[in-house]
Amino acid sequence: MEPDLFKYVPSEIMSNIFSRLHSEAVAISKCVCKAWLHLLETDYFVNSYLCKPSLAVLARDSTRLTVFNLKDEDEDEDGVDHDHDRHYIPVADFDIPQRGAKVKGTSANGLLLVFSKPKSLCICNPLTRDYVELCCPQQSIRASELLCGFGVSKISGRHKVVCMTRSESHCHVYTLGATQTWRTVAKPSGVFCDYAYGVSFGQLVKGNLHWKLWGEAICCFDVETECFSRFSTPPRGGNADLSVLQGCLCACRLAWDKDEGNEVIEIWLMKEYGDDESWSKEYVMIYHPDFPPGPAIYPIKVFKDGDILMLLEEEFLLYYSNNTKNTQQVHALEAATGDTYISAIIFTPTLSSLKTLGMENVISLNSIS
């Protein structure tokens, strides 16, 4: 039998070797043996390894979460401009523990908040394949409308989950790794009048969570201070949908272009955070007539070539070609997930385990021999 050479390689050299691998290979390596698992979960390796921003995609009618790496380049070495369908590289798969789970704009520091009707929340790390289940606050279980949010406080670095309904005079806050219970925080009167029914997930920007209200208003919750404030949408932005784009709060809407005589997609960015006057219309693109009327549109990523990846009605992904000025559907992800109904979000993966946050009852899906 040949000797196991890896057994005698110093851990510093092994860490250096692993640090050169893609995140997919690192995640697979953790399942090889206990020695590699322990090495790749050390604080030294976790803090030194740099993960690239990725795309998390969840098929709505299944429990499979798939993470893709996004190549941010316009051409291969041959100089040929290729379809973005070639730019999605599977990194990891994660089987969501709850049936009917849903991911929508709920990521913080590489962790994802997954909501499952009628009463379950799940914090998961698809790269380390571990998760923790949380029960929704008892008062919110039967609510027909629910605001959820997941963020990290700017100073203390605490991860917090937020849940609230329109009928309650307070919101519920769960701090990961703290008391393992929900706390209540008072809501200012009138802040949550007339927001839409269903489940709405807050968009995390600058340490604050944001929800679109009916009318031309945005509710803001400071994750650090747990205080509320209110912003205005872009001009005539009552029908805009919120997302995060290029690190800015983004509002996207359909509008009628009088000069062109057709519908266009307008993407607005709040260039100076917290300043209502800094809303700037950054992108305008023709809306394809074959797509459904009046959909919710969520811009996800702007590529170096000016192409834009978008999620339409939580049903399929689109990309706008800055070169051809056309908007087309992305089919590569449908084949990878096996479903045409998906949710998607850009996030930066992390190798940190939920156990490092002081969470109890962490469940791991890794199989170690």
Tell me, what's the pLDDT at 301?
Answer: 84
Stated pTM of the model: 0.81
Integer Cα distance of 138 and 116 in angstroms? 15
Farthest-apart Cα atoms in the chain, separation? 77
Integer Cα distance of 19 and 347 in angstroms? 20
Query: Do residues 89 and 332 make contact, with C-beta atoms less than 8 angstroms apart?
Result: no
Those residues with Cβ within 8 angstroms of residue 229's Cβ, 6 or more apart along the chain or in another chain: 220, 222
User: 217-229, pLDDT tens digit by residue?
Assistant: 898 999 999 999 9
Integer Cα distance of 38 and 133 in angstroms? 24
Integer Cα distance of 292 and 327 in angstroms? 13
DSSP class of 51: P
- Domains delineated in the chain: 1-50 (1.20.1280), 51-364 (2.120.10.30)
- pLDDT tens, per residue, the chain with 369 residues: 455 656 677 777 888 888 777 676 777 787 788 888 888 877 777 777 766 666 666 655 456 677 776 665 544 443 334 445 445 666 667 776 665 555 554 677 878 887 765 567 888 887 777 888 887 776 555 555 778 889 988 888 889 999 887 777 788 999 988 777 889 998 876 555 445 556 778 899 999 999 887 778 898 999 999 999 988 999 877 778 898 998 899 999 888 887 767 888 899 999 999 999 999 999 998 887 777 776 788 888 888 888 888 888 766 778 888 888 888 777 666 655 555 556 677 777 777 778 877 777 888 776 443
